[in-house]
Amino acid sequence: MQFGIPTQLIWPRTLDITGRPTAPGMRQVQDIATRAWNFTTALYHKAGGSPWRLDGVRGDVCFVGVSFYREILEANPMLRTSMAQAFTAAGDGYVLRGNSFEWSDSQRERSPHLDSKSAAALIRDVLELYQRQNRRSLPSRLVIHKTSRFSDEEIQGFEAACRIVPQHDFVAFGNRGIQFYRTGDYPPVRGTFVKFSDTEFALYTDGYIPYLRTYPGARIPRPVEIIEHHGDSPWNIVLQEVLALTKMNWNTADFSCSMPITVAFSRKVGEVLAELPQELPPRPEYRYYM
């Protein structure tokens, strides 16, 4: 990252095309064709290309995932740093590092939260980056995803930063262990949802895919749980976008992934940022974090 060169790390066994059986205790590798598709898809994006883009989603909507990570190089074990991952329907992806703050898991909720000032500053940075990449144009709508509930201060800060954007939506994901089944040999169809209220849903992003005539998974799929929604858009639009964003993972050529790209790899991206010294500004392009 320091020299502006995206890199690709490869395990030696990933390049093994002899078909030899995997040694006991080692993770099974995929078949040769799947490895080749995954590898070339990632390299194409790291070279500056967009393998595909979303259909049916407005191109001037900005999707943002907000998350947190621990600073490895800091002596204070309670220090947390916020980060934002921003994506567009055209496939542009960016990563921004926010403010650092102290957070004690033993004294408060386990999931960190931003104060209103830091929340507003993080989203303003996202909007400034969006303008730099889009000829000073603002998005028509900003959608913020988070894997924990929004605090009152976070909502206050996000709304303050979004005043210059015509529309906004804040969506929180959770995991309460809810599961559903259907009769027959296959799990629920991908895209099936259960509505608990106007702001709470269970959405199957994994499941039986009619186009493929099968369920391409090894485990019983669990639905993505939406536990909060604040904003301007109807709930069906919010669900459609969550489903669409599961197809934007360019680390793989799979049909889709379980979580939307805004939050799917927040831990992995955080691990990269955690190794980066504070004095070294992070590159914003998402291809440096894949």
Would you tell me the crossing angle of helices 116-133 and 152-161 to the nearest 10 degrees?
30
Contact 209, 216 (CB under 8 A): yes
Helix (H) or strand (E) holding 66: strand 61-70
Could you tell me the two tokens for 278? Answer: 């504070």
Whether 153 maps to a domain, the answer reads: yes
Each residue of 198-222: pLDDT tens digit?
999 999 999 999 999 999 988 899 9
Give the per-residue pLDDT at 274. Answer: 86
Q: For the residues 118-136, what does the mean pLDDT come to? A: 95
Question: Which 3-state string (H, E, C) describes 100-137?
Answer: EEECCCCCCCCCCCCCHHHHHHHHHHHHHHHHHHCCCC
Mean pLDDT over the full length of the chain: 89
Whether 163 maps to a domain, the answer reads: yes
Interior/surface letters 127-149, b for 16+ CB within 10 angstroms, e for the rest: bebbeeebeeeebebbbbbbbbe
- Count Cβ atoms below 10 Å from residue 200 Cβ, excluding itself: 17
| Distance separating alpha carbons of residues 213 and 191, to the nearest angstrom | 14
Confidence of residue 21 (pLDDT cuts 50, 70, 90): low
- Read off the pTM: 0.90
| Distance separating alpha carbons of residues 35 and 185, to the nearest angstrom | 29
Give the per-residue pLDDT at 136. Answer: 92
In angstroms, what CA-CA distances link 198 with 18, 167, 208, 230, 286? 53, 18, 26, 10, 33
User: For the chain, what is the domain count?
Assistant: 1
Confidence of residue 105 (pLDDT cuts 50, 70, 90): low
pLDDT(75) > 70? no
Confidence of residue 83 (pLDDT cuts 50, 70, 90): very high
| Distance separating alpha carbons of residues 194 and 207, to the nearest angstrom | 14
Could you tell me the two tokens for 65? Answer: 């995932």
Give the per-residue pLDDT at 219. Answer: 87
Whether 17 maps to a domain, the answer reads: no
Each residue of 53-71: pLDDT tens digit?
888 888 899 999 999 988 7
CATH of the domain at 132: 3.30.420.10
Whether 47 maps to a domain, the answer reads: no
Whether 36 maps to a domain, the answer reads: no
pLDDT(107) > 60? no
Angle at 134 between CA 130 and CA 139, to 5 degrees: 60
Whether 37 maps to a domain, the answer reads: no
Whether 187 maps to a domain, the answer reads: yes
Whether 39 maps to a domain, the answer reads: no
Confidence of residue 24 (pLDDT cuts 50, 70, 90): low
Each residue of 222-271: pLDDT tens digit?
999 999 999 999 999 999 999 999 999 888 888 899 999 999 988 889 88
Angle at 122 between CA 51 and CA 227, to 5 degrees: 75
Burial of 107 (0-12, 13-18, 19+ CB in 10 A): exposed
- Tell me, what DSSP letter sits at residue 22? P
Which domain, by its residues, includes 284?
Answer: 55-288
pLDDT(289) > 60? yes
Give the per-residue pLDDT at 74. Answer: 63
